[in-house]
Structure 1
Amino acid sequence: MPGELLVLAATSAPPPPVQTMFPPLAIGFFGLGVGYLIYGPQELLGFPRRSPEVDRTTGLWGIWMPGFMQALTGVLLFVALSWFGLFSMQRTLYMAALAFTAYGVHWFVIGRARYLGSDPRPNGLMAVPFAIISVLGIVVFFSAGDWAVGILFIGLTLIYVTDFFASLGLWGASLFERALGAVRILTGLWLMYLTWATVLDLALGRSVPT
């Protein structure tokens, strides 16, 4: 009888959560990188020159690549972590889910505002909480020994600091706009590296320094 109870308990226990080694990080890395490599040259070099037609095209890219692709990544990560218990051994993915979701939604606004030709000054106020969450990412990923993503969050922090001054039109706004463009280009290139590293690691098992 006790043995039967043990067998019954073992068979009725919930199965352990399924683990997967394929978090959708490359989607978010690539989408944000594309956005930065479109917006950055325009801010740094003035190319292509701003016009209503150019702004509409740039806005659409901002909505779909850094906006949709990051938000999709963040939602997928949160659903996997919260509903299905996936990636439970990779706790830093909680920070990644928060960042991808928040950055993705705010890019919906940035892209739509550019498309409509809206006033950019509220972006300066937005930059404050997003700089704070970027610093949080630095703390989380460097504490976890993930220096490659930690470097990404350093770039993100610099982007929002420069965006604060560039968007509000304060003294030296044009200089900060060029600095914003330069940091976006560098961060965009780093995101391309992270995309390559993630895909080569997960698809081919090739270890790339990260």
Structure 2
Amino acid sequence: MTAQEVVDSLTLWSLISSIVSIVIAVFAIWIGWLFYKKGSEAEIRAETALAGIRAQTETLAKISSSQIRQLTKAVTQQSPTEKALIEALSKQTGTSEEIERYINPPVSPDIQEEMVSAYILIYYYAALSNNIITYSLPHVSGEEIINTITPWIDFTNSDFMHMDQVMGKIKEDSIKNNPFAHLYNEVEETWKRLTMSLSKYKKFYPDTN
């Protein structure tokens, strides 16, 4: 191997590393922003839940006090008529559903869309990274470089296969209406069939150690 070939190999590997680093950096920023936004919204929902529970507790206290007064009056007057008892016990608070609504607030459509966006981006970059590595590796020279890059074929393929299962559980409309649906379609139409494991890669390139 000539010095020029070594330089070319190092240059190619440097380019691949730069691309992957940029992709990972962009994705990390995206995930950080998403988690920050989600955390802020969760904090707001928690405060709302506490306010709701506090209000319902005060309501329950007032109702219970009213019931006790009416029951006491009926008993002390020794005329606990059916009407008085029914009136005292028929106070319907309807607080169970309201408290449950505060404790378990529905996930907002915005959060759902952001999570689907994150899944699509992970799916896309896992497929793209695998393809960049598998189709660049045959053109790389140098045993040390090859041995360093090769394990990443299985790493990226494993990530892709996992995300493929995750995407299969998401409703089709949620993907179709997502702003990043075009990236999902690109994976399905192009990159998915080209993504491969290390064992599959070795079948295409038998000389691989």
Q: Which has the larger radius of gyration?
A: 2
Greater helix share, structure number: 2
TM band (smaller chain)? 0.3 to 0.5
